[in-house]
Amino acid sequence: MSKKDLIRTGRYLRLVIRDGWEYVERVNSSGVVIIVGKTDEDKVVLVEQFRHPVGKNTIGFPAGLVGDDRGCRGEDVLAAAKRELLEETGYAARKFRVFFVGPVSAGMCADMVTIVHASGLRKVAAGGGVDEHEQISVHEIPLGRINSWLRAQVRKGKLVGPNVFAGLYFLEHWTR
């Protein structure tokens, strides 16, 4: 593999170039985790929040960075999944298991995402994020109504992350 050169480093990202290809790397985490959770009542747990890069509210599964906080350096992906699920949704899970690991956007960044299944969910806290920058709404949508609910959100001008459809696929095909 050829040498990569640093173009610029910011607080959370660095821009690098290798063989003429510019891409970003995170400086404060070891990966990304997405938590696909479904309650015992067959409700899918999604989050909604405003995202500055796209300038709109987005719908997605709870997610976050692995090892991004000082107190979490070196954490493993399942510990991050547990932490992020609780922070964002107020849910705890009896069991976590890895569905899949792959690139977030292989042409733009070096991040690898781990999609984790959370089962045995129970509400133990309010959720909504841990700081003033996170204003997260939690949605619990019956699995049988998820497609029509997602279409309605798009009609309202919200963006649905492609990870939602990947997560729904895993719920349908990999939990049996």
Q: What is the DSSP string of 26-75?
A: ESS-SEEEEEEEE-TTSEEEEEEEEETTTTEEEEE--EEEET-SGGGTT-
Q: How many separate domains does the chain show?
A: 1
Tell whether 1 is covered by a domain. Answer: no
Residue 35, domain CATH: 3.90.79.10
Six-digit token string for 29: 């985490």
Tell whether 11 is covered by a domain. Answer: no
pLDDT in tens, 115-131: 999 999 999 998 887 77
pTM (global) more than 0.85: yes
pLDDT in tens, 129-158: 777 677 899 999 999 999 999 999 999 999
Q: What are the residues whose beta carbons fall under 8 Å from the beta carbon of 104, sequence distance 6 or more?
A: 32, 111, 112, 113
| Gap between the Cα atoms of 47 and 55, Å rounded | 16
Tell whether 114 is covered by a domain. Answer: yes
Tell whether 100 is covered by a domain. Answer: yes
The range of the structural domain enclosing residue 55 comes to 30-173
